[in-house]
Structure 1
Amino acid sequence: MRVAGKVIVVTGGASGIGRALVLELLGRGARVAAVDLNAGGLEETSTLAKAGERLSTHVLNITQREVVEALPAEVAARHGAVDGLINNAGIIQPFARVSDLEYGAIERVMNVNFYGTLYMTKAFLPHLLARPEAHIVNLSSMGGFLPVPGQSLYGASKAAVKLLTEGLYAELLGTSVRVTVVFPGAVATNITANSGVEVRQAEGQRGSLKPLPPEEAARRIIAGMEQDRFRVLVGSDARLMDFLYRLAPAWATRFIQRQMRSLLEG
């Protein structure tokens, strides 16, 4: 689905990939409803966009189902219709083993990453099905197909998004709604700070992987959306690990464990 002239809802639009998606969509001629809990971040996105009435901002918590269910009517009132939904909002967990992770942190990650995506999808799907063409894009993660020690619950939430999205793809075949699942690798965002997570790094340790700029990630995601692709792997790391995990899952799992070891020590 070409996005020019369409109305697209983007969650997590206050920063990172979400903000980049908002700006990319506007640059391609779309109207956008940017959703986030961070009112100040949404104001910054609006200031950067300079898009006038083509951009609306909506401050809400996607884990609150009743609030989410009222959003489609609000967006339609501002823009006339809804043609697309990009479920981008997400958080990571504290870097800890499952045995050391508190239930509050587990529930928070599942509520934002999985239930937030589910609530948004359920709320908007009837409106999307009424359109001549429409699209749902859900962001999973490289951690949604590859186990990452210290992020096991985050990975579980993103694996749930993966399977939910693939199931939607199958269920919506033959309808006007296309579905895409996205697997970003390392992208230069402030997700750790937004998630309230501190990252320990051993003295002198420096990552060899250069994260992808969020603007480039957004371009690749929207390109995949416009091409109606089933899966989009964002970044060379995501493509490489997807290949290696399919080829030798146990070896790939041990490889990632070695990379994450320092974050779990101490």
Structure 2
Amino acid sequence: MQDKNFDTLAGKFAKNIYGTLKGDIRAAVLWRDLEEMLPLLGERRLRVLDAGGGFGFFSQKLAALGHSVVLCDISAEMLAEAKRHIALSPTPLDIQCIHAPIQDLSRDALGEFDLILCHAVVEWLADAKGTMTSLLTLLKPGGLFSLMFYNRDAMCFHSLIAGNFGYVQSGFKAKRVKLSPNFPVTVPEVEAWCDGWQMDIHCRSGVRVIHDYLKKGSLSTEYSDTGLIEMELKYSREPAFLRLGRYVHFVAQKPL
């Protein structure tokens, strides 16, 4: 199977992921994690690579803090949308957009980066570990790697409690929707990758540890979407709930 290109799905992707409560939860958890981890790199202007960054949500937030960002995506439509948002920024943003698969990125062409983001990408890659290993050649010694991946175990559990036993027994091949990842991975699998890279994982968070398990209409009327996000942040790092997250976010550091 080939890696996924969202060119033909850019509109649907934007509608389903960004500008929704799911997207707000993702943004809140990841930004909380990044704000806590960035001080490890010191108080200075950073070079950031947003690999497979789509519309560049975090590229724009980091550039707004004064950092220099390279945003790469395989989808021309995604990058066009990113450029539109960048142009609308009230302050100039130092963001270079590159239309290319992340496998084509090289240290010779781009140099090294203090921080690399790779969010919701590995689950669409036929050779995720190999691609990430190559990507990390662009990370400076001591640099941070922010990796968010679709959690196969959470996908399994969600299907089980919904009674979709046949889907689970088929190895998740019985049905296929366009935005269902082709190559989900598990937390132990990605932890093993980090061990092989000799990288210390400083931060582990589940993303959507509550939202996807709520029954329709079950959220108490006294709690708003903001209240749910607060609970997601509170429980995202609890060991009992972290691995239930639809996605899991690691921030790992490359050895000096």
TM-score by length of 1: 0.49
Alignment partner, residue 10 of structure 1: 50
1:159 aligned residue? 185
Q: State the Cα distance separating 1:186 from its structure 2 match.
A: 7.0
* 1:58 paired residue number: 98
Structure with the largest fraction of strand: 2
Distance 1:23 1:126, change over 3 A: same
Equivalence for 1:243: 240
Matched, 1:47 2:92: no
> Which residue number in structure 2 is paired with residue 31 of structure 1?
68
In structure 1, which of residues 184, 189, 209 is the aligned counterpart of residue 207 of structure 2? Answer: 184
Matched residues in 1 for 2:226 and 2:131: separation?
Answer: 27
Superposition RMSD in Å: 4.5
Change (3 A) 1:165 1:49: farther
CA 1:239–1:122: 2 relative to 1, 3 Å: closer
Deviations 1:199-227 (A, max 9, x none): xxx9xx547396679xx99xxxxxxxxxx
Q: Partner amino acid for 1:69? A: D
Deviation at 1:244, TM superposition (A): 5.3
Q: Give the number of equivalent residue pairs.
A: 178
How do residues 124-163 of structure 1 correspond to structure 2 at under 5 angstroms? 124-128=135-139, 131-141=140-150, 144-145=153-154, 147-149=157-159, 153=172, 157-160=183-186, 162-163=187-188
Describe the shift of the 1:164–1:34 C-alpha distance in structure 2 as closer, same or farther (beyond 3 A).
farther
In structure 2, distance between residues paired with 1:172 and 1:207 = 43
Q: Any stretches of 5+ residues in structure 2 without a counterpart?
A: 1-39, 173-179, 247-256
Q: 1:87–1:180: structure 2 CA closer, same or farther, 3 Å change rule?
A: farther
CA contact (8 A) 1:166 1:181 kept: no
Flag structure 1 segments of 5+ consecutive residues without an equivalent.
63-67, 91-108, 189-201, 218-232, 247-251, 257-266
Alignment check: 8 A CA contact 1:186 1:235 kept:
no
The amino acid that maps onto 1:124 is L
Cα deviation for residue 182 of structure 1 reads 4.5
Letter in 2 for 1:159: V
Amino acid at match of 2:233: G
Distance 1:236 1:82, change over 3 A: same
Contact 2:117 2:147 survives alignment (8 Å): yes
Larger mean Cα displacement after TM superposition, 147-156 or 43-52: 147-156
Shift in Å at residue 57 of structure 1? 1.0
Q: Confirm or deny: 8 A CA contact 2:235 2:241 kept in the other structure.
A: no
Aligned position for 2:110: 75
Structure 2 length-normalised TM: 0.50
Which whole-Å CA distance do the structure 2 matches of 1:157 and 1:183 have between them? 18
Task: Tell me the distance in 2 between the aligned counterparts of 1:24 and 1:32.
Answer: 10
Larger fraction in helix: 1
